[in-house]
Amino acid sequence: MTNATSAYPNVYRTVTARISESILAGAKEFEMPWHSIFGGMPINAATKAEYRGINVLSLWVQAQIAGFASSHWASYRQWSSLGAQVRKGEKGTLIIFYKELGDEQQEDGALKFVARSSFVFNSAQVEGWRPPDVERHSEALVLEEVDSFVRATHAIIWHGSEMARYRRGDDRIDMPDRSAFKATKTRSATESYYAVLLHELVHWSGASQRLNREFGEKFGDKAYAFEELIAELGSAFLCAKLGVSNEPRADHAAYVASWLEILQRDHRAIFAAARCAQDAAEYLIDLVAARTYG
């Protein structure tokens, strides 16, 4: 593989310009590229009972903040009883429940209850458990050239997660199974799968031992948003270069637009992020070339 800059002199500018044009024209809402079970009532994975009251709102909010795609929750002990293991370092979400106080009764004869608290973990925070009846398809095709490119980076990639993310602490990429990806209105299941995989690979390139980018500390802060711009633009660049899709898709533009909202619609940010995304794409291309031909 030849040097990224000489081989693809116009790809970065073209992709960035077209995504920018789509955003200015009014990019539509981003559509999740894999089958998500989030959106229903939070359910206890062990008892199959739905959470109620304030716990519903608490768990919905936490799922949105953390980006959990699952509606299944359970305590540490309950996950253990299901043969699953909460990952080290994961933080639980507080819930409230009421426990009956034996045979004690109030003056009106009603039983007495006392409030108790517990911490629960989303199934995206555990290993060794799969949600039941998740809709899956086998539409996403294998693109061997792209898979070979990803393998040559030596990035650690684990399939079977309920969400896609780069885990900095483990230096590992988590991905939903290939069969979980679906076609959207503007791209095929195959394009969806590889766009997400390359997005996470761009995040991987930013680790301290590689390009050492600032990732941000929490979902929604400006540094976090800027890193998401970099990853999505980098994904669009790599999709174009590796032949996953010939044109930048509306999905890319919608995703980028959603993060520009956090940056107060600063459309200059897209060009700053594009420079970092170009650095990331070239780093990955040169890394693969060195390990393949060096």
Q: In terms of domains, do 87 and 141 share one?
A: no
- Model pLDDT for residues 22-63, shown as the tens digit of each residue: 766 666 665 556 555 444 578 899 998 888 877 876 787 787
Q: In terms of domains, do 93 and 226 share one?
A: no
Best CA proximity match to 248, nearest among 256, 257, 259, 240? 240
Q: In terms of domains, do 213 and 91 share one?
A: no
Q: In terms of domains, do 147 and 247 share one?
A: yes
- Model pLDDT for residues 146-178, shown as the tens digit of each residue: 999 999 999 999 998 877 889 999 999 999 888
Q: Which of 75, 102, 127 is the last residue of a domain?
A: 127
Residue 114 is part of which domain span?
43-127
Q: Which of 94, 127, 160 is the last residue of a domain?
A: 127
Number of other residues whose CB lies within 10 A of the CB of residue 46: 17
**What predicted TM-score, i.e. pTM, was given to this entire model?**
0.64
- How far, in Å, CA of 258 to CA of 256, rounded? 5
Residue 155's pLDDT is what?
A: 98
What is the distance between the terminal CA atoms of the chain, rounded to a whole angstrom? 10
34 Cβ contact list (under 8 Å, min separation 6): 69, 164, 176, 180, 181, 182, 192, 196
pLDDT averages per 10-residue partition of the chain, 294 residues: 43 74 66 53 87 77 76 94 94 82 56 76 92 62 95 95 87 91 82 93 97 77 84 88 73 71 69 89 95 80
